Structure 1
Amino acid sequence: MPNSFTTVGILALAVWLIAASALAESTPDETKSSQLNNHRFSAVLESEAAYGMARDRASKMEMVLDPQWEYRWSEDTRITGIARLYTEGFDHLEPGRLSQGEVAPNSRRLQLGDRTDMELREFYLRTQLWGMHLTLGKQQVVWGKADGLKLLDVVNPQNFREFILDNFDDSRIPLWTFNAEFPVGGGNLQLLWIPDRTYHRLPQAGGTFAFHSPLVVPQAPPGVAVNLQPLERPNNIVMDSDIGMRFSKFWHGWDLTVNYLYHYADFPVFFQSVLLAPSGTTVTVNPRYERNHLIGGSVSNAFGNLTMRGEAIYNTDQFVLTRNRGDDDGVIKSGEIAYVLGLDWSGIRDTLVSLQLFQSWLFHSADGMVRDTLDTTSTVLLRRHFLNETLETEVLWLQSVNQGDGLVRPKISYELRDNLKIWTGFDLFYGDRNGLFGQFDRNDRLVIGMEMGL
C-alpha cells in the first residue's frame, strides 16, 4: 500500500491547482488577474531510451513528467511544489514492485504498477524571517560541485538505479529539511535539521545496474549458505535526525566553505557472522546504517582562464568489507580523509577542459580489506559548444587508478528550440568485473533522449 503521507502531499498539490482554477472563475476580472499572477505553472517532459550493446537488447525506455507549481505569497515568500510521474517500458532498471526499504515512510513513491510510479519530488516554503532565509519542506541541498563523482555533496542520498549515469539533479533524493541561512562574520551560515530518514536507493537484485562487485557486496565462499536479514533502519524521527552546518565566505578572491554533517551514512554496513554446523556453514548478513561525523570544506578561485577548486572531507566512521574470515563481523572500521582537486581551463573560445583527482585514504589498514588504503580516481571532461551554444559536445572519462577500470561517456546534444533539447551518447564501461566500474562491463549502451519544457 502507498504511504499515506506521500499520497496526502501529492493530493495537496493537486488541491492547490484546483483551488487556483476555481478562484479564477469566481472573482472579478481584476482580482482574477491579480490572483493568477501569483501562480506559475510549468512542466518538464523528458524521455530517454537506451540500447544495451553487449546484451543486444533495449535496456531502457523511460518517460518522466515533472509538473511544477509556484505560488508567490509575497515579495519574500513563495511556495514551490514539484511532482513526478515516471514510467518505464522494459522494467529492467527496477524490476517488479519496489521494496523501498531504504526510504522513510513519508517519502516513498506511490506505485501505480510494476513500471509506473508517482512521487512528490519537492514541496517547500521559502521565506525571510528575522533576517534569515528559511526553506522548509522537501528539498535538495547541494554542497559539493565535483564532476562525475560526489565527495562533499552528501546531504541528500542518491538513487543508484542507473549507477552514476543519471544527472545529479535527477539522482539526488530530496529530503524533508529545515534549512536556515543568515549572515554572520562577513559570510553566510547555513543550518540544517533533517528528520527524513531516507538513504541511498540501491538497485534491486535482477536490475541492470545491481551491484555485485566485492568492493560493495559481501562475497560468500563456494558452498557457504547466506542468510540475509532485513535491513535495520533508524526509526526515531528526533534522535535519528541528521544535522549539519556550512559557513561560506568570499575572501581575497577565494570562495571558501567549512562544512559539518552529523548523519547516518547512506550506504548500509553489511555486518556478518559465521555459524558452523554439521549441516554446513552459514553466513548471516545483518545490514544496518551507522552514524558518522563529516567535517570538510571547499575552495575555489579563478585566475583568468583557469579555475582551481577543491573539496576535502574527514569521516570519523568509515566501514570497509574484509575477506578475512577470522574477522568477527566482516568489516573494518576506520577514519577516512578524502579530497578532490580540480582544474578547469577555458582558454579556447566555447571550450572547457576539466581535470580532477579524487583520493581517499583510510587511517586503519588490515589484512583482507577489499580496497586499498589509498584509493585514487581521476576524471577528464572535454566540452565544446557550437552554433551559438545550441550544439554541445562533451566526453567524460572516469578512471580508477587502483582497479584499472573506468567509464567513458561521449555525448552530443542540440537545442532545437528554447524549450526543446535532444541528445545522444554512449556509456562505455571497461575493466575487471570486480571493480566499481568494471562490474558493469557488459552494460555498455547507446542512449538517445529528449527534454521539453511545457
Structure 2
Amino acid sequence: MKAEEAMPLDEVLEGFGEEQQPAGSAPSTLDDVLQGFDETQAADTETQPLDAALHSAGGWQLSGELDFSTAYNFAHQRPAPGQTDFRGLSRLRTGLDLELEGAITPGWRLHLEVGGEYDAVYRINGRDDYRAQLLDESESEVEVGEAYLQGSPAPAFDLKLGRQILVWGKSDNLRVTDLLNPLDLREPGIVDIEDLRLPVGMAKLDYFSGDWGFSLIALPEVRFSKLPPFGSDFYQGAAPAPPERVPADGIDNMQYALAANGIFSGWDLAFYWADVYRDQGHLSANGGAPKLRHSRITMAGSAANVALGNWLLKGELAYLSGLEFSGLPGLKRDRADLLLGVEYSGFDDTTLSAERALRRLSGFNENLAAAGY
C-alpha cells in the first residue's frame, strides 16, 4: 500500500501573510509523465514561438513545492538471514523543489529548477541494516533540474540552451519515439509519471513556418536512466551490477536529433530522427571484466493524432538500428516499433486511454532466444 501527499509551497505558507495571490499567479510545477506524456502540451511547446511577454524585461518569479511521501510494505515475506528486511515502513521522504524564472534582457529568459529530498526511513529503521550503495543513492539527493536560457535570436527562430525535458511522440504511457530523456526508474510504478523524466543538457534551435515547427537539437550531455541500486527492494539480482561505462560529455560524443511537427485542424503530425546512445545497456567483456556499455543507435520515426469528437486516435512508428545485446558480442540488429492508441474524454474530469505497442526485432534467431530476448 502506498500513500503520497504533495503540498505546494504557497499552501504550506498560507496564513503567514494577509494578502491573497491573484488567481493564476502561482506557476505550475514540472510537467512530465502521465501529464508529462501529454501530447497537447508537447505539441504546443514544439510548434509555438516564444510568447511576446519575453520581449519585455519583466520581474523574476520564485516558486516551490514541498512534498511528503510515505510507503508501507505489507505483503513481503520474511527475508533470508543477512538480507535487508523491507517489511513495514519503507519510505518517509520529504522533498523541496524550487523554481526561479525571469527575463534577463528583452526577448531572453532564464529558467532554473533545483530539488532536494531526504528519506528518514533509513535512520528510523537503522542505517546499518541497509547496503551502502542504497544509502548513497536513495537516502538524500540534491539535483539541478531543468536549467536553461531561452530566447529569440531572429524572427521565427527560438533558441534554448541548457538542461531540458523534450517530449517526443503522442503516447501517454508507452515510449516509442520518446527517447531523448532518460527516466528515474529507482522505484518503478510508484513515482508519479510526470516526475520520471530526467533533464539532459542540450541546445535546441526551433524554426517556425505556418503550421510547422522544425527543431535542430545537439546533446553534449550523456545521461542514462537511474535504475534501482544494489540493496533496493526493487533490485533484481543477488550481486551488484557490473560497472557501467558512461561516455564522456562533450563534442566527441555529441548526440544529434531532428524534429518536424505540424498542427492542423483536428489532427497533427510529427517526424523524428535521432543519433544517440541507447539508454538500455548491454554486457560486454571485450577481453576483460564484463562492463555495462551503451551502443550508439539511430532512430527514425513518426507520430500522429486525429481528433474525432470526444475521441482521440494516436499512433507512433519508430525504426531503430544498431542495437547490441548482452552475451552476443559483435551482433547488431534493427527493430521496428509500432504503437496504436485511443483516448476518450467524454466524461467530466475523466479521460480513458488504451494503448498497445508492438516491437519486431530483425534477424531473430536461437542465439537471441537463448540469451533471453
**What interval of TM-score do these two structures reach, taking the shorter chain for normalisation?**
0.7 to 0.9
Residue 79 of structure 1: which of 103, 110, 113 is its match?
110
Please name the residue that 2:257 is paired with: 244
Tell me if 1:96 matches 2:135.
yes
* Structure showing the higher strand proportion among its residues: 1
Q: Which runs of 5+ in 1 are unaligned?
A: 1-35, 99-113, 213-218, 220-225, 275-282, 376-454
Residue 41 of structure 1: which of 33, 43, 62 is its match?
62
1:205-244 equivalent positions in 2, closer than 5 A: 205-212=230-237, 230-235=243-248, 237-244=250-257
1:173-203 CA-partner distances (Å, limit 9, x unpaired): 1111101111247511011111001112222
Residue 318 of structure 1: which of 292, 301, 323 is its match?
323
1:365-376 equivalent positions in 2, closer than 5 A: 365-369=364-368
Describe the shift of the 1:306–1:67 C-alpha distance in structure 2 as closer, same or farther (beyond 3 A).
same
Q: Which runs of 5+ in 2 are unaligned?
A: 1-56, 77-86, 123-129
Residue 150 of structure 1: which of 175, 193, 199 is its match?
175
Describe the shift of the 1:211–1:75 C-alpha distance in structure 2 as closer, same or farther (beyond 3 A).
farther
C-alpha distance in 1 between matches for 2:65 and 2:338: 35
Tell me if 1:70 matches 2:126.
no
Which amino acid letter does the alignment assign opposite residue 298 of structure 2? H
1:79-112 CA-partner distances (Å, limit 9, x unpaired): 11110011112347971224xxxxxxxxxxxxxx
Determine if contact 1:151/1:313 at 8 Å carries over to the other structure.
Answer: yes
Residue 204 of structure 2: which of 172, 179, 183 is its match?
179
Describe the shift of the 1:339–1:89 C-alpha distance in structure 2 as closer, same or farther (beyond 3 A).
farther
Determine if contact 2:304/2:314 at 8 Å carries over to the other structure.
Answer: yes
Please name the residue that 1:266 is paired with: 279
1:163-174 equivalent positions in 2, closer than 5 A: 163-174=188-199
C-alpha distance in 1 between matches for 2:370 and 2:100: 46
Q: Secondary structure at the match of 1:347?
A: strand
Determine if contact 1:60/1:90 at 8 Å carries over to the other structure.
Answer: yes
When structure 1 is superposed on structure 2, of 74-83 and 351-360 the one drifting more is 74-83
Shift of 1:164: 4.5
Shift of 1:211: 3.4
Q: Secondary structure at the match of 2:185?
A: coil
Please name the residue that 2:154 is paired with: 130
C-alpha distance in 2 between matches for 1:370 and 1:89: 44
Please name the residue that 1:289 is paired with: 294
Describe the shift of the 1:228–1:122 C-alpha distance in structure 2 as closer, same or farther (beyond 3 A).
closer
Describe the shift of the 1:73–1:172 C-alpha distance in structure 2 as closer, same or farther (beyond 3 A).
same
Shift of 1:347: 3.0
Please name the residue that 1:409 is paired with: none
1:398-448 CA-partner distances (Å, limit 9, x unpaired): xxxxxxxxxxxxxxxxxxxxxxxxxxxxxxxxxxxxxxxxxxxxxxxxxxx
Determine if contact 1:310/1:341 at 8 Å carries over to the other structure.
Answer: yes
Describe the shift of the 1:174–1:210 C-alpha distance in structure 2 as closer, same or farther (beyond 3 A).
same
Which amino acid letter does the alignment assign opposite residue 185 of structure 2? F
1:344-392 CA-partner distances (Å, limit 9, x unpaired): 112344432211111111011111435999x9xxxxxxxxxxxxxxxxx
Please name the residue that 1:408 is paired with: none
Tell me if 1:51 matches 2:72.
yes
Q: Secondary structure at the match of 1:155?
A: coil
C-alpha distance in 2 between matches for 1:306 and 1:249: 20
Determine if contact 1:321/1:332 at 8 Å carries over to the other structure.
Answer: no
Please name the residue that 1:356 is paired with: 355
Q: Secondary structure at the match of 2:194?
A: helix
Which amino acid letter does the alignment assign opposite residue 365 of structure 1? F
C-alpha distance in 2 between matches for 1:208 and 1:227: 13
C-alpha distance in 2 between matches for 1:126 and 1:239: 25
Which amino acid letter does the alignment assign opposite residue 264 of structure 1? Y
Describe the shift of the 1:122–1:186 C-alpha distance in structure 2 as closer, same or farther (beyond 3 A).
closer
C-alpha distance in 2 between matches for 1:342 and 1:169: 19
Q: TM-score, normalised by structure 2?
A: 0.72
Determine if contact 2:187/2:234 at 8 Å carries over to the other structure.
Answer: yes
Over the matched positions of the two proteins, sequence identity in percent amounts to: 22
Q: Secondary structure at the match of 2:147?
A: strand
Determine if contact 1:343/1:356 at 8 Å carries over to the other structure.
Answer: yes
C-alpha distance in 2 between matches for 1:199 and 1:228: 15
Determine if contact 1:295/1:313 at 8 Å carries over to the other structure.
Answer: yes
C-alpha distance in 2 between matches for 1:171 and 1:249: 27
Aligned pair count reads 299
Shift of 1:137: 1.0
C-alpha distance in 2 between matches for 1:228 and 1:54: 26
Which amino acid letter does the alignment assign opposite residue 313 of structure 1? A
Please name the residue that 1:392 is paired with: none
C-alpha distance in 1 between matches for 2:347 and 2:195: 31
C-alpha distance in 2 between matches for 1:130 and 1:206: 52
Describe the shift of the 1:234–1:37 C-alpha distance in structure 2 as closer, same or farther (beyond 3 A).
closer
Determine if contact 1:249/1:257 at 8 Å carries over to the other structure.
Answer: yes
Describe the shift of the 1:148–1:270 C-alpha distance in structure 2 as closer, same or farther (beyond 3 A).
same
Shift of 1:292: 0.2
Which amino acid letter does the alignment assign opposite residue 210 of structure 1? Y
C-alpha distance in 2 between matches for 1:332 and 1:164: 32
